[in-house]
Amino acid sequence: MLKNIKSKIDDLQQEVSNISKKRKQILNLFASYIENKIKNGNYVNLIFICTHNSRRSTMSQIWAQTAAEYFQIPNVKCFSGGTESTAFNPRAVKAVRESGFEAGQLDESDNPIYLVRFSEDNEPLKCFSKVYSDEFNPQKDFAAIMTCSDADKNCPIVFGAEERFTVRYDDPKEFDGTEFETQKYTERFEEIGREMLYTFSKVKKCVK
């Protein structure tokens, strides 16, 4: 792990008590799915989905992959997508970088590709906005994790998904252009980090 990421993980794990009992029940179901896949010798493909694949879904993808590597959970691959594509929002990218991740922008297109790195030993995540069914993502045998209410309601069927979990997060977009913008993006990224670390810590206890 990059030094700053390890420090951030240590801090977030001290805040697990901030996760409500109701929320932990949701995350425990998600963790059980991952446990069962690994115990049966299967790969775990996770696609985090929100409407535009610009904020919450990509933040979740980054933290889930980081947590899987931190707890040394094998054969986990994390992806993200939307019901439509836009771009990885620059405010979200800023929150990612300020938490210690390296996020290099590869191009200047309207939908640039970012290589997000949390470790010197692992391949960086290729992050860009895309629909969940994009060929970059797995087409079958994956779990769909719905991170926003709009995508959850407007996408009643996620084709190819073998399981579906609703793990919604409030949208920091509501604070764009306000004095609370940076604070709210940081809060959301850290909330997602706490919950993904909690989820994979549960998996770690059951997978040797």
Does residue 196 have a pLDDT over 90? yes
Q: What is the pLDDT of residue 8?
A: 97
Q: What is the mean pLDDT of residues 2-27?
A: 96
* H or E segment to which residue 197 belongs: helix 181-206
Cβ 148 vs Cβ 53: under 8 Å: no
Does residue 3 have a pLDDT over 80? yes
Q: What is the pLDDT of residue 15?
A: 95
* Largest distance between two CA atoms of the chain: 49
Buried/exposed code over 35-47 (b: 16+ C-beta within 10 A; e: otherwise): bebbeeeeebbbb
Q: What is the pLDDT of residue 206?
A: 83
Does residue 136 have a pLDDT over 80? yes
Q: What is the pLDDT of residue 110?
A: 97
Cβ 163 vs Cβ 42: under 8 Å: no
Does residue 140 have a pLDDT over 70? yes
Pick the CATH number of 3-206 from 3.20.20.70, 3.40.109.10, 3.40.50.2300, 3.40.50.10490: 3.40.50.2300
Closest by CA to 32, choosing from 163, 147, 189, 148, is 163
Residues in the chain: 208
Q: Where are the domains of the chain?
A: 3-206
Q: What is the mean pLDDT of residues 139-152?
A: 91
Q: What is the mean pLDDT of residues 33-47?
A: 96
Q: What is the mean pLDDT of residues 19-31?
A: 97
pLDDT band at 150 (very low <50, low <70, confident <90, very high): confident
Query: DSSP readout, 55-93?
Result: SHHHHHHHHHHHHHHHTT-TTEEEEEEESS-----HHHH
Q: What is the pLDDT of residue 208?
A: 67
- Mean pLDDT for the chain overall: 95
CB atoms within 10 A of CB 71: 18
Does residue 117 have a pLDDT over 70? yes
Q: What is the pLDDT of residue 120?
A: 92
Does residue 151 have a pLDDT over 80? no
Q: What is the pLDDT of residue 155?
A: 75
Q: What is the pLDDT of residue 178?
A: 97
Which amino acid type is present at position 82? G
